[in-house]
Amino acid sequence: MAPLLKIDEIKARQQAVEDMINFQHETDVVRVRLKPLHDLERMLAKIFMYSAKHKSKAIYFEDVSLIKLKDFRVLLTDFKKIEFALAPLINQRHCFKSPRLRALLSPNDDEEEEPGLFPGDLMLAIESFEQLIIWKKVGGTDKEIPEPKPGFDADFDSNNEKVNLIKKELDSILMDVQ
């Protein structure tokens, strides 16, 4: 974090720190729950940099889209864990003096009070995205590749059907040869 220069911002940060000190147990629980998660800011920057870096050059030996999707999947998994990790502080947010900390822990779709900054529909957005992609294991290995859910992409479905027909033909030829 950059050092703050404005007195109001310094006081707001001090209030937030004071609240976290006053709720030390909840803060410690949150810290323990967040520790195994990846650095979300770094993950977001990495995913963004894939698209910016690889737009201008040819890629021969890596599938950038697959790497981006795998990283994005890890990011979504961590996002799903955030609400649980922050739950002890979210439950105490009404007791905080710091308006900034209250806003960070309050959902932005909260009808009871002033909307906060925490995305209230985060889980819904993640679940709807996850329902669009099926991760299939490749040839008995631990590697997984993403495929769109059947019915989502008509071109993919028709090409996948053609591949399956060719596989069946090859299997029948193999059975005849044996």
pLDDT recorded at residue 111: 65
Q: What is the pLDDT of residue 52?
A: 66
pTM, to two decimals: 0.71
| Residue 93, burial from CB neighbour count under 10 angstroms (0-12, 13-18, 19+) | buried
* Residue whose entry in the numeric block shows the structure tokens 């859910």: 149
What is the per-residue pLDDT across 36-79, written as a single tens digit (0 to 9) for each?
A: 999 988 988 888 887 666 555 555 545 667 778 888 889 989 98
What is the overall mean pLDDT for the chain? 85
pLDDT tens, 124-146?
888 888 888 888 887 777 788 88
